[in-house]
Amino acid sequence: TGSMGEVMEGRSAKQLLEDWIQELEVSLGSAAISAENKAAKQGKSKKQKQGGGKAPATQPGKAQQAGAESDEPIAKLDIRVGRIVEAWEHPDSEKLFCERIDFGGGEVRNIASGLRAFYKLEDLQDRLVVVMYNLKARPLGGFKSEGMVLCASDEAHSHVVFLDPPAGAEIGEQVTFPGIQTNPVSPAQVQKKKVLEACFPHLRIGSDGKAEYKGIPFTVEGRGVCTASVAEGYAVS
């Protein structure tokens, strides 16, 4: 009775037959696809048991682990060795020295440091220093400072000393952290992502005066580690 009703509603027997055939093809096609998927899964499972499949996602390889480590905030900073080639007292600030620092390749930058309470002017001349390089330039007492010279200081900020590159380090060489793949970002990104704020709580002087980030030493490859002649626990900034 159903078929007769449909014919009466304007659908011919031929159309009904074509619809039925189409429904049958869809049904058979779905069954075939289901069978193919099942066979594929069985084959994949067999390969994994034989050692031919991919490693489980819960057991990342060394390359994957290294990639995860590069997400550390310190990886976004460009830290380099430089040499102070000229220094003078800031004319309008009793705290600041103004320095011209050479990074090699003709790259010389002006940087201001609040170190007049801790060093004499002659102590700065020709000194090798460790510098955060990819920071946005900002005025300090009206002097455009294009980076930050790193130092170690006690909690009261009453004792501050330069961070020293390892012996034999040359200007322009980069400071790295073993196990962390560095990928410096632009100065604008350092500021936007608040990279310094994320790093500073983890920058400390460890045993033997070694400067560290989360226990990982500031390292100049092939030269050694950066140090400061202070007690363990001093902050680096």
CATH (domain of 163):
2.40.50.140
Domain edge (last residue) among 46, 62, 81: 46
pTM of full prediction above 0.85: no
Query: Looking at the structure, do residues 215 and 147 belong to the same domain, yes or no?
Result: yes
Name the 3-class secondary structure at 11: coil
62 part of a folded domain = no
Query: Looking at the structure, do residues 131 and 211 belong to the same domain, yes or no?
Result: yes
219 part of a folded domain = yes
Query: Looking at the structure, do residues 80 and 42 belong to the same domain, yes or no?
Result: no
Q: Running DSSP on this structure, what letter comes out for residue 124? A: T
Tens digits of pLDDT across the chain (237 residues): 343 343 334 444 445 445 544 544 444 444 444 444 444 445 444 444 444 444 333 333 333 334 444 789 999 999 999 999 999 999 999 999 999 999 999 999 999 999 999 999 999 999 999 999 999 999 998 999 999 999 999 999 999 999 999 999 999 999 999 999 999 999 999 999 999 999 999 999 999 999 999 999 999 999 999 999 999 999 999
Query: Could you tell me which residues come within 8 angstroms of residue 55 by beta carbon, excluding any fewer than 6 positions away?
Result: 61
Query: Looking at the structure, do residues 108 and 24 belong to the same domain, yes or no?
Result: no
Amino acid at 23: E
Contact by Cβ (8 Å): 227, 151? no
Query: Looking at the structure, do residues 38 and 85 belong to the same domain, yes or no?
Result: no
Query: Looking at the structure, do residues 85 and 15 belong to the same domain, yes or no?
Result: no
Q: What's the token pair of residue 51?
A: 């050692």
Amino acid at 203: L
To which H or E segment does residue 100 belong? strand 97-102
Query: Looking at the structure, do residues 38 and 101 belong to the same domain, yes or no?
Result: no
Contact by Cβ (8 Å): 125, 84? yes
61 part of a folded domain = no
Query: Looking at the structure, do residues 105 and 187 belong to the same domain, yes or no?
Result: yes
Query: Looking at the structure, do residues 154 and 212 belong to the same domain, yes or no?
Result: yes
Q: Which domain holds residue 78?
A: 73-236
28 part of a folded domain = yes
Going by C-alpha positions, the residue among 114, 170, 150, 171 that lies closest to residue 227 is: 150
Query: Looking at the structure, do residues 77 and 42 belong to the same domain, yes or no?
Result: no
Query: Looking at the structure, do residues 20 and 132 belong to the same domain, yes or no?
Result: no
Distance, in Å, from the CA atom of 77 to the CA atom of 181, rounded to the nearest integer, reads: 11
- The DSSP-derived string for 57-80 is TTS--HHHHHHHHTTSGGGG--EE
Contact by Cβ (8 Å): 94, 88? no
Distance, in Å, from the CA atom of 214 to the CA atom of 64, rounded to the nearest integer, reads: 20
Number of domains comprising the chain: 2
80 part of a folded domain = yes
Residue with tokens 């159309």: 15
Query: Looking at the structure, do residues 103 and 173 belong to the same domain, yes or no?
Result: yes
